[in-house]
Chains A and B, each alone.
Chain A
């Protein structure tokens, strides 16, 4: 008996070791290597240098810009998103599924594509050119909001769906008007999920790379683009490392906060009740949601429009040009081969992220009895959330400088980019799967075990039937995210085998209307591919996708 228990414990440890080793080798080691460069400039330990970096006035400007844009974008995303969460998760009407899919599309939209779409929207001759937003912080905030509204909608919505509406009904029967019910009952109950969503959104906004790079130009930089600037342009590794360390510290604190907020909330309800039909008094929120969704779709519509246009009117020439290397040979390979490359890499990344994600989710969904076990499980959960917040630029650059020599020499490995993307997608897979596995009543596993099912059999008869949809959904989600990954990939992609987001970024950097049109067409194709993947994901009806 004791031997059996020890064997089980050993099994758990062995299982936990697999994702931990991968995380150490392909996340902590590269990020650590990057950080070490800052503390040991020229081989000698010199931490004071890091402090000097943080005292620079330019760094202060960058920090302040990061904080206020991320803070403002978070507030706006919450204000815009919460009513939409109500409409998409609390009501029930035809076409709701399509809207739920549309709302996630911006989140998985490649950042480069979104940046391009926004620029197209606000450039002087664009649809919103009259507002003169080009090159302003307003444009950056708007783009950050565009990305993150869906996080609020999904996180708050999936929680809201699980709230017992009879509590609200009881309050209404006691005489509370709908507004009163919302203020005194619904809102206090929703707060943990709003706090959790807000902290994650702040995290995403403050580590946003592609958006700020494409929209901010040289005038505006956040910590993330500053790290990029310092490493690639100014070769100031010490400065970059200092900012990375600061970012890691702040983000770890935020993750802990978000974890606290989430812990207070009940487990995901597995069978959410159907929402009620919209009524007349929902007109205001319905209109609000329509406006928000329209606002989210506008940049995408602009993008499609721009891709179908050239100097002589409507045309498919931009799409045909994807078979070429652009005008003046802007690229080394054709855009279509980059797309193929993107697909292969995203598939590999999704596979890796899934295998690791399933193991991590499985382990964190088993609630250990002992306090120490629970703390270990919580820590384990938290560690795998780290890639959410650590700069993809730091990760990418870390890969470059640490994985190019023994013990891990992967310079020529085909798997370098898939592994990096898998690290980025892993937290999203875990956040999709773990709530579903946690929501399984442990007594079902105990019942199966008591009837003679071994651990594997329990997995097959209890966990798998509950989780297969979430597993398929998380493959699609990881695929979509990998397809659009830009931050880390931009460091690692070789010029002769780039991914589509890298190609798009190259194209908009090259002069010429033809290259620009081709970038638009490439963006539409990329957006369509990620959108299609998300449509598939949405068809599995897993509410934890994109929720935190």
Chain B
């Protein structure tokens, strides 16, 4: 097949196994995110793909060709780290032009291409700046431009946005997604932040303790988390099991037989005509909605939302409804 194919890959450091028998496909032109907490082995997986770690077993191949004997610099991938790793002793233009100079492109062409790339990442005219004078976001943009300079077969991103503050991260995530689509670059991204993964990627692979828990398109993964842990990591606010899950099931999908269910915060909504009743434990007004903490009769402690207009306060008895597409059934209690 086209694109990256990882088969049964294991990486060990002494007695610890960082990556255990991982299978992974990154189709050509797609953006795949490996999502996992720190220590899940996702960065090691990325480094093994780049050729920076040697696998204990298994294979990494690209477009059908095995890469086991191909050194890092011949793989035609570009690697970008959390903090960009710009070359501090070179100007922005020299940083971006670095891979072009490695390939002995003519100086004229390099100048033009660098300007193009800086344009692409929204840093027109930054050529002569020193990396030390850039903000975190600008640095990441320069690193991205440098990575894209020679149109790599694949782009490897290690937590590309994690070092940035929230607002900037959101904006840059959207830009990154757009730039990657424009360039059509096959991308493997690792991150611990599900929002970053959802903002940038179109496929997601979930990793825990060196193993792949589940993988698929955003929608597939989001709709059907593999288990309670996966659901929590994907951003579901709470999971219910046993009686509480069955009661909710009867209410929303009587013909199904859930034993475990994950709810997003917005799955429980304050609704005067709703079938559930509960007590408000805390209410906090936000810009888009009121965030509630609730003790729901028969279901226990849940989180929920209300429209901004509602005046609720701790201690109020309220009626609640369930929004069915904001919850996901889980395959049995773990």
Q: In the complex, what distance in Å separates the CA atom of A175 from the CA atom of B77?
A: 8
Interface centre among B50, B52, B147, B150 (most CB of A within 10 A): B52
- B77: which A residues are within 8 A, CB to CB? 173
Known: A174-B150, A177-B73. A169 touches B50 (CB 8 A): yes
The reply to whether B102 and A174 form a contact with Cβ atoms under 8 Å apart is: yes
Q: Name the residue of chain B whose CB is nearest to the CB of A277.
A: B54
Known: A175-B103, A175-B150. A167 touches B85 (CB 8 A): yes
Tell me the minimal C-beta distance from B151 to chain A in angstroms: 12
Q: In the complex, what distance in Å separates the CA atom of A26 from the CA atom of B74?
A: 61
Q: In the complex, what distance in Å separates the CA atom of A185 from the CA atom of B88?
A: 9
What per-residue 1/0 map shows which CB atoms of B69-108 lie under 8 Å from chain A? 0011111111111000101110000000011001100000
Q: In the complex, what distance in Å separates the CA atom of A176 from the CA atom of B87?
A: 13
Tell me the minimal C-beta distance from B91 to chain A in angstroms: 13
What per-residue 1/0 map shows which CB atoms of A488-529 lie under 8 Å from chain B? 000000000000000000000000000000000000000000
A184 within 8 A of B: yes
Known: A169-B50, A174-B99. A164 touches B85 (CB 8 A): yes
B146 within 8 A of A: yes
Q: In the complex, what distance in Å separates the CA atom of A169 from the CA atom of B81?
A: 10
B263 within 8 A of A: no
B156 within 8 A of A: yes
What per-residue 1/0 map shows which CB atoms of A323-362 lie under 8 Å from chain B? 0000000000000000000000000000000000000000
Known: A167-B85, A170-B85, A189-B89. A175 touches B79 (CB 8 A): no
Q: In the complex, what distance in Å separates the CA atom of A171 from the CA atom of B101?
A: 12
Q: In the complex, what distance in Å separates the CA atom of A177 from the CA atom of B88?
A: 19
The reply to whether A175 and B85 form a contact with Cβ atoms under 8 Å apart is: no
Q: In the complex, what distance in Å separates the CA atom of A167 from the CA atom of B149?
A: 17
- A188: which B residues are within 8 A, CB to CB? 87, 89
Q: In the complex, what distance in Å separates the CA atom of A292 from the CA atom of B77?
A: 37
Q: In the complex, what distance in Å separates the CA atom of A5 from the CA atom of B89?
A: 40
Tell me the minimal C-beta distance from A191 to chain B in angstroms: 9
The reply to whether B79 and A173 form a contact with Cβ atoms under 8 Å apart is: yes
Q: In the complex, what distance in Å separates the CA atom of A167 from the CA atom of B51?
A: 15
The reply to whether B102 and A175 form a contact with Cβ atoms under 8 Å apart is: yes
Number of interface residues of A (CB under 8 A): 19
The reply to whether B72 and A169 form a contact with Cβ atoms under 8 Å apart is: yes
The reply to whether B98 and A174 form a contact with Cβ atoms under 8 Å apart is: yes
Known: A167-B87, A188-B89. A173 touches B156 (CB 8 A): yes
- B150: which A residues are within 8 A, CB to CB? 174-175
- B47: which A residues are within 8 A, CB to CB? 169
- B149: which A residues are within 8 A, CB to CB? 174
The reply to whether A184 and B73 form a contact with Cβ atoms under 8 Å apart is: no
- B78: which A residues are within 8 A, CB to CB? 173-174
Q: In the complex, what distance in Å separates the CA atom of A164 from the CA atom of B80?
A: 14
The reply to whether A170 and B99 form a contact with Cβ atoms under 8 Å apart is: no
- A46: which B residues are within 8 A, CB to CB? none
A6 within 8 A of B: no
Q: In the complex, what distance in Å separates the CA atom of A263 from the CA atom of B102?
A: 31
The reply to whether B52 and A169 form a contact with Cβ atoms under 8 Å apart is: yes
- B98: which A residues are within 8 A, CB to CB? 171, 174, 176, 184
The reply to whether A175 and B76 form a contact with Cβ atoms under 8 Å apart is: yes
What per-residue 1/0 map shows which CB atoms of A149-187 lie under 8 Å from chain B? 000000000000000101101111111111011001100
The reply to whether A170 and B76 form a contact with Cβ atoms under 8 Å apart is: no
Known: A174-B98, A174-B150, A175-B73. A169 touches B79 (CB 8 A): yes
Tell me the minimal C-beta distance from B257 to chain A in angstroms: 49
The reply to whether A185 and B50 form a contact with Cβ atoms under 8 Å apart is: no
- A164: which B residues are within 8 A, CB to CB? 85
Q: In the complex, what distance in Å separates the CA atom of A172 from the CA atom of B53?
A: 13
Q: In the complex, what distance in Å separates the CA atom of A170 from the CA atom of B146?
A: 10
- A178: which B residues are within 8 A, CB to CB? 71, 73
Q: In the complex, what distance in Å separates the CA atom of A174 from the CA atom of B77?
A: 7
- A167: which B residues are within 8 A, CB to CB? 85, 87
The reply to whether B102 and A176 form a contact with Cβ atoms under 8 Å apart is: yes
Tell me the minimal C-beta distance from A220 to chain B in angstroms: 41
Q: Name the residue of chain B whose CB is nearest to the CB of A279.
A: B54
Q: Which of B71, B88, B89, B147 contacts A174 (CB 8 A)?
A: B147
Q: In the complex, what distance in Å separates the CA atom of A156 from the CA atom of B80?
A: 27
- B147: which A residues are within 8 A, CB to CB? 174
Q: Name the residue of chain B whose CB is nearest to the CB of A187.
A: B89
Q: Name the residue of chain A whose CB is nearest to the CB of B98.
A: A174
Known: A170-B81, A172-B73. A189 touches B103 (CB 8 A): no
Q: In the complex, what distance in Å separates the CA atom of A176 from the CA atom of B146?
A: 13
Of residues 346 through 390 on chain A, the ones whose CB sits less than 8 Å from some CB of chain B are: none
- B103: which A residues are within 8 A, CB to CB? 175
Of residues 410 through 425 on chain A, the ones whose CB sits less than 8 Å from some CB of chain B are: none
- B51: which A residues are within 8 A, CB to CB? 173
The reply to whether B146 and A166 form a contact with Cβ atoms under 8 Å apart is: no
The reply to whether A170 and B79 form a contact with Cβ atoms under 8 Å apart is: yes
Q: In the complex, what distance in Å separates the CA atom of A151 from the CA atom of B188?
A: 44
- A176: which B residues are within 8 A, CB to CB? 73, 98-99, 102
Q: In the complex, what distance in Å separates the CA atom of A172 from the CA atom of B146?
A: 13
Tell me the minimal C-beta distance from A121 to chain B in angstroms: 42
Q: In the complex, what distance in Å separates the CA atom of A534 from the CA atom of B150?
A: 50
- A184: which B residues are within 8 A, CB to CB? 87, 98
Q: Name the residue of chain B whose CB is nearest to the CB of A167.
A: B85
- B72: which A residues are within 8 A, CB to CB? 169, 172-173
Q: In the complex, what distance in Å separates the CA atom of A164 from the CA atom of B83?
A: 11
The reply to whether B156 and A174 form a contact with Cβ atoms under 8 Å apart is: no
Of residues 126 through 164 on chain B, the ones whose CB sits less than 8 Å from some CB of chain A are: 143, 146-147, 149-150, 156
Of residues 387 through 405 on chain A, the ones whose CB sits less than 8 Å from some CB of chain B are: none
The reply to whether B99 and A166 form a contact with Cβ atoms under 8 Å apart is: no
Tell me the minimal C-beta distance from A263 to chain B in angstroms: 15
Tell me the minimal C-beta distance from B145 to chain A in angstroms: 12
- B79: which A residues are within 8 A, CB to CB? 169-170, 173-174
Q: Name the residue of chain B whose CB is nearest to the CB of A173.
A: B79
- B89: which A residues are within 8 A, CB to CB? 188-189
Q: In the complex, what distance in Å separates the CA atom of A546 from the CA atom of B150?
A: 44
- A173: which B residues are within 8 A, CB to CB? 50-52, 72-73, 75, 77-79, 156
The reply to whether B102 and A180 form a contact with Cβ atoms under 8 Å apart is: yes
Q: Name the residue of chain A whose CB is nearest to the CB of B155.
A: A173
Q: Which positions in A face B, CB cutoff 8 Å?
A: 164, 166-167, 169-178, 180-181, 184-185, 188-189
A173-B52, A178-B73 given; name 5 further pairs at CB < 8 Å.
Answer: A167-B85, A173-B78, A175-B76, A175-B150, A185-B87
A/B interface sample: 25 pairs, CB < 8 A: A166-B81, A166-B85, A167-B87, A169-B50, A169-B52, A170-B79, A170-B81, A171-B98, A172-B52, A173-B50, A173-B52, A173-B75, A173-B156, A174-B73, A174-B78, A174-B79, A174-B99, A175-B74, A175-B99, A176-B102, A178-B73, A180-B73, A180-B102, A184-B98, A188-B87
In the A-B complex, the 6 residue pairs with the smallest Cβ-Cβ separation, listed nearest first, are: A173-B79, A174-B99, A172-B72, A170-B85, A167-B85, A188-B89
